[in-house]
Amino acid sequence: MTSTAPDSRSAKAVLRTQRIELPSWAFGNSGTRFNVFGQKGIPRTPYEKIDDAAQVNRFTGVAPTVALHIPWDKVDDYADLARHAAEQGVALGTINSNTFQDDDYMLGSVCHPDARIRQKAVDHLLECVDVMDKTGSRDLKLWFSDGTNYPGQDDIRARQDRLAESLRKVYKRLGPNQRMVLEYKLFEPAFYHTDVPDWGTSFTHCVALGPKAKVVVDTGHHAPGTNIEFIVASLLRADKLGGFDFNSRFYADDDLMVGAADPFQLFRIMHECVKAGALRPESGVAFMLDQCHNIEPKIPGQIRSVMNVQEATAKALLVDQKALEAAQQASDVLGAHAVLMDAYDTDVRPILRDMRTEMKLDPDPMAAFARSGYAEKVAAERVGGQQAGWGA
């Protein structure tokens, strides 16, 4: 029987067009609630964060946009920041909102019982859309730390009503080419209930809002053992997957490099994306990283993460879809599983090295970055000033 397996050439053609967005905050100092660890050469301004992100794109060739977090990346002149990004070969991407780092939000933001605080949060979200107008960004990313710590603390249903009303106000403000993407998270910082804890809640609100509202799947925001690829498949089926915040977890929201904890899971997620055609830019699915590197150097941490996504994608592209479908139709349980595992077990690193060479990149981005001397250069130059951190 002749093989119907996709060859490495067709996989490379898709991999070349893959786009992975980088989070500006991944380049700042990070840590846990126990300590934020300072590293040498950390950017002091959004401009310097963009310079660092541009290095990741320079060595991987597939990370040409940088997501901003407001107010962490607030600047006087966004057109100037966009110009600076373009000079570095990248562009500004998703605008992430922040309604979690203000004393007023202790009991919530858009779900808060006090109308004044809800309005303050909505005003911030509207300000983020103003920023999007200036940066030309398509997506407003919403994540709410809202929830309660104790049963009875607030009315769960009333909070959902407040959430719906606040979201409606922001949705109305979106331009024709703008979207809002609503991220869910099981728990933390609230420990009893969270107002957007799961994809069902996010989905329900997005459906009620309309076609410009989509769900974001942050891979770190699930209970252990959750079948994330099922969620991805379901959202893709309903045309409601706005994108990913990629990272990985062993325990909770660990924010480790994507694919580090469970590369098989990442492959299974990418398999659903490939099957649904979600890698095509027209699909509107944004592949973003959302990681805080606590102990590893930032730029190599991001390069490694991009490579991990590429490797999972390459394996997913190698799945023999025709053979898989035939085995599934024939109720051949082990045959179908074997088709999937054949792709997963393929060493795709030579394919990616080839592709990089064809793209006039170094086949080994980690080594090439280390050799470039950039890390030593910024460590020597970036002396004084306030290093960016998670929250600045």
For ligand PSV, the closer of residues 146 and 218 by Cβ is 218
> Closest approach of Cβ 200 to Mn ion, in Å?
18
- Tell whether residue 218 is a contact of Mn ion (CB under 5 A): yes
- When the beta carbons of 170 and 324 are compared against ligand PSV, the nearer one is 170
Q: Tokens 């933001």 appear where?
A: 109
Q: Which is nearer to ligand PSV, 72 or 78 (CB)?
A: 72
Minimal distance in Å, beta carbon 333 to ligand PSV? 37
Quote the least distance from Cβ 334 to ligand PSV, whole Å.
38
Using CB distances below 5 to 8 A depending on partner kind, what does residue 25 bind out of Mn ion, ligand PSV, none? ligand PSV
Asked whether the beta carbons of 122 and 110 are under 8 A apart, the reply is: yes
48 binds, among ligand PSV, Mn ion, none (CB under 5 to 8 A by kind): none
Phi (first) and psi of residue 192, to 5 degrees: -95, -60
* 275-294: contacts with Mn ion (CB under 5 A): 290
Using the rule CB under 5 A, is 52 a contact of Mn ion? no
Residue 25 or 105: the one with the smaller Cβ distance to ligand PSV is: 25
Measured from the CB atom, the residue of 218 and 272 that comes closer to Mn ion is 218
Cβ neighbours for 39, distance < 8 A, ≥ 6 positions apart:
29, 297, 298
The neighbour count for residue 258, using CB atoms within 10 Å, is 30
Q: How far is the CB of 230 from Mn ion (least distance, A)?
A: 20
Task: Please enumerate in sequence order all residues whose Cβ is within 8 A of that of 390, keeping only pairs 6 or more positions apart, or say none.
Answer: 25, 28, 29, 30, 31, 36, 292
| Contact indicator for 24, 66 with CB cutoff of 8 Å | yes
Nearest residue relative to ligand PSV (C-beta)? 143
Quick one: DSSP state of residue 257? P
Contact criterion met (CB below 8 Å) for 43 and 49: yes
Q: How far apart are the first and last CA of the chain?
A: 60
Long-range contacts of 101-110 (CB under 8 A, 24+ apart): 101/391, 105/145, 107/148, 107/154, 108/144, 108/145, 108/146, 108/147, 108/154, 108/159, 108/195, 109/144, 109/145, 109/146, 110/144, 110/146, 110/162, 110/163, 110/166, 110/167
Which of Mn ion, ligand PSV, none does 51 bind, CB closer than 5 to 8 A by kind? Answer: none
In whole angstroms, how close is the CB of 245 to Mn ion at the nearest point? 3
Least gap, CB of 142 to ligand PSV (angstroms): 9
Of 59 and 143, the one with the shorter C-beta distance to ligand PSV is: 143
Question: At a CB cut-off of 8 Å and minimum separation 6, what does 210 contact?
Answer: 171
Residue 311 binds which entry of Mn ion, ligand PSV, none, CB below 5-8 Å type-dependent: none
Among residues 8 and 98, whose Cβ is nearest to ligand PSV? Answer: 98
Q: Which listed option, Mn ion, ligand PSV, none, makes contact with residue 96 (CB within 5 to 8 Å by class)?
A: ligand PSV
The residues near 154 (Cβ < 8 Å, ≥ 6 apart) are 107, 108, 113, 148
Q: What are phi and psi of 141, to 5 degrees?
A: -95, 130
Taking CB atoms, the residue at the shortest distance from Mn ion is 245
Query: Which residues contribute to the site for ligand PSV (CB under 6 A)?
Result: 25, 96, 143, 183, 185, 218, 245, 253, 290, 292
Residue closer to ligand PSV by CB (options 58, 249) is 249
Select 197 or 365, whichever has its Cβ closest to ligand PSV.
197
Of residues 237-266, those binding Mn ion (CB under 5 A): 245
Residue 195's binding partner out of ligand PSV, Mn ion, none, with CB under 5 to 8 Å set by partner kind: none
Distances in Å between the Cα of 155 and the Cα atoms of 103, 114, 115 are 21, 13, 15
Q: Beta 193-194 vs 147-148: how paired, if at all? A: antiparallel
Per-residue binder mask for Mn ion (CB under 5 A), 169-208, x = binder: ----------------------------------------
User: How far apart are alpha carbons 345 and 343 in whole angstroms?
Assistant: 5
Q: Return residues touching Mn ion (CB under 5 A).
A: 218, 245, 290
